[in-house]
Chain A
Amino acid sequence: MAENESNVVVDHGQSRLSDLWTKEDYWAIWLGFVILIAGMWLFLANPSPEFAQKVDKANAVMAAEAERAPFKTLAYYKAQDDKGKLKAMDSATGKSIGAFLKAPGGWTSNPLESFVLSKEAAEERNAAAKSKFEAAKAKSDAAFAAAQVAEAAAAEAGFADTALNDAAQGKIAEWRADLAKMKSAEKKVKTKAFNISTSLPMLMVVMGLFFAIGMKFMGHDVPKFLVGFIGVFVVAVIAQMMGHQSTMKYWGIGTEAWAIIIGMLIANTVGTPNFIKPALQVEYYIKTGLVLLGAEVLFDKIIAIGIPGIFVAWVVTPIVLICTFIFGQKILKMPSKTLNMVISADMSVCGTSAAIATAAACRAKKEELTLSIGLSLVFTAIMMIVMPAFIKSVGMPQILGGAWMGGTIDATGAVAAAGAFLGEKALYVAATIKMIQNVLIGVVAFGVAVYWCARVECTSGRSVGWIEIWNRFPKFVLGFLTASIIFSIISGSLGSDMSQIMVNQGVLKGLSSPLRGWFFCLAFTAIGLATNFRELAHYFKGGKPLILYVCGQSFNLVLTLTMAYIMFYIVFPEITAKI
């Protein structure tokens, strides 16, 4: 985000060796890398040998079933589900780390339930949920039995009877739906007691000291920072609590949005207390979080759904991004290029995470990031309901509908929810397309950073040399990309199954993703606490940001649907048949 008012750099930037330990960008890299190295040591160094054995066993069953039947059989699905249960973060170490990093959890009417659940209360909940679980289990078992009968009938006919095959697939699909409901009900009878009121203060101290290391070297007042950090952390905890309230699922309002809302409410009413201000280090928290996010940008993910997925997510998205940006500059004449770019990236790529990365790469103002996220949230809330309803009403196939929603709805969670609205197939396609789009963040952040340094941040008529581009380049992007490249190499070398178990469900979800979540929450809290309503309203003047978003999203909707249809149904129908 911009540290001064002007986006135009007139003087030459300069790089010094001392930047490595005095500049914020580099500290974001060092702190991020410490966490990632710790994660690799904890989860990759000594993999359990049973992971590979269970994966091989499950794959052997799927391979055999794939040869036996022309559709995914019960045994195929069971093997796939067994493989999905393997997670490196389920080790004793992983569970300890998870417990320490645990954020306030879900609640309905009593916010204290977010922090503490006694053994008696947990047992009471389990008892209350028991009858629903038993009913769901009975239904699932019955559906499984019916699917077994149908599959056996199809097998008896040598899988040559299309009607019997279709009937078997239908019964298996019903069982899958009932199984999902049974698993959801099962979680409610396995509620465990927890108490994070003791771990949260410890987490606050650890995080405060962690960031204070960099603050010390950057020449800031560490005691004042630590005292202010308490205030920022407390507000962030409240934001986490609100983001997990049970009705937020209807509106797509998560932790980060609540952090901005609560922060702005405080800043614009009672006023942000002075003691907190030294800890309002927005860029510091965001850049550190982005370096961690880099490790989750795994390039081998882009082939997960084949070439159609690459076209929908990686061809359409840059076209929409660039066209929207040009539209904003040439037609709408947006007064702020950085706001234009952040909105374009937010809308075309993947919502808030893309907005964060792009805003940091082009040094947008925090108000511009806030406005962009606000716009995205409003339209996401509309699209995540309207799109699946529309898709269902016109009888669009689940795969096409899922691909369409995956490529257009901004927020990843909302995409998955909208896909689930239609069914499991739509959920899987939508979530996979969005995951592939998420990976595009790395390329977008780098491209925007280079473009801004080489073209935007210079006075007209002056050419910019490579040294000057280097001097101006936001260095944290290098950390972000390095993390991405290293983890992509590790992921690729492990293979997709072991990468899922050790990297995604180990290093990332076991350590770096929860911390990334906390750092973004701290950053958005700091943004909220430092934002003035009047300044925010200024950026919305004339309604141009809204027009930009609507026009860009309309183009996105048309192009994504067209590309999805062409790729999934005309060019690669055989791929669609496999899904």
Chain B
Amino acid sequence: MVQASLPVRLLRLGFGIGVLWFAFWVVGPRIVASVPALAHYGAVQDIYGIRSGALYYNDVDATQAAENNSRDSWRFTPQGPEQGG
């Protein structure tokens, strides 16, 4: 197969970069602005230090707090004082 010339290939690369830029920097912010749920979704990630693209539980800091909370709930289950009659 004959490869296209370098200028054509560079043009294709530029087009690809342009498409990505348009999707994430033009269309994306408009979608976020028009969907309140998306804006809230981004805000909670900032609050809890979460990255939604993270792969594994060790990549998400909130998992440590979640695990500690679950384990401590088991070990130190709030019982309170006995309510006698």
Contacts and interface: CB of A to CB of B under 8 A. Distances in A.
Nearest to A422: B44
B14 to A, nearest CB: 8
B53 A435 contact: no
B37 A420 contact: no
A265 B72 CA distance: 48
Given A80-B69, A255-B53, A416 B63 contact: yes
Contacts of A398: none
Given A385-B38, A496-B71, A84 B64 contact: yes
Interface string A466-491: 00000000000000000000000000
Contacts of B44: 417, 420-421
Interface in B26-85: 28-29, 31-32, 35, 37-38, 40-42, 44-60, 62-81, 83
B42 A249 contact: yes
A247 B51 contact: no
B54 A412 contact: yes
Max chain B Cβ within 10 angstroms of own Cβ: one of A253, A304, A351, A418? A304
A173 to B, nearest CB: 13
Contact of A416 (B29, B62, B77, B80): B62
Contacts of B28: 247, 250-251
Interface in A320-362: 350-353
A70 interface: yes
A304 B71 contact: yes
B13 A438 contact: no
A413 B50 contact: yes
Interface string B9-21: 1101101110010
Interface residues of A, number: 89
Contacts of B49: 184, 187
A243 interface: yes
Given A427-B66, A428-B66, A579 B73 contact: yes
B32 A250 contact: yes
Contacts of B35: 385
B63 A431 contact: yes
A289 to B, nearest CB: 10
B56 A296 contact: yes
A352 B80 contact: no
Given A68-B80, A70-B79, A83 B59 contact: no
Contacts of B73: 578-579
Contact of A420 (B12, B13, B45, B57): B45
Chain A binding surface, main DSSP class: helix
Contacts of B38: 250, 385
Interface residues of B, number: 60
Interface stretch (A114-122, A209-217, A502-510, A559-567): A502-510
A506 B57 CA distance: 15
A249 B37 CA distance: 13
A248 B81 CA distance: 49
Given A417-B45, A431-B66, A496-B71, A412 B56 contact: yes
B67 A353 contact: no
B24 to A, nearest CB: 6
Contacts of A253: 53
A83 B72 CA distance: 11
B53 A66 contact: no
Contacts of B70: 304-306, 309, 428-429, 432, 579
Contacts of A67: 79-81
Contact of A431 (B32, B37, B62, B80): B62
A158 interface: yes
A390 to B, nearest CB: 11
A413 B54 contact: yes
B78 to A, nearest CB: 5
B47 A180 contact: yes
B55 A351 contact: yes
A254 B63 contact: no
Interface in A174-193: 180-181, 184, 187
Contacts of B51: 244, 248-249, 254, 413
A442 to B, nearest CB: 12
A239 to B, nearest CB: 11
Max chain A Cβ within 10 angstroms of own Cβ: one of B35, B42, B45, B75? B45
A385 B52 CA distance: 11
A410 B58 CA distance: 15
Contacts of A271: 3, 9
A70 B13 contact: no
A160 interface: yes
Given A385-B37, A413-B50, A427-B62, 5 more contacts: A66-B78, A159-B81, A247-B29, A250-B38, A251-B24
10 contacts: A159-B81, A184-B46, A249-B53, A250-B28, A250-B42, A254-B54, A412-B55, A496-B71, A500-B68, A504-B58
Q: 4 smallest A-B Cβ distances: which pairs?
A: A254-B53, A413-B54, A70-B80, A269-B13
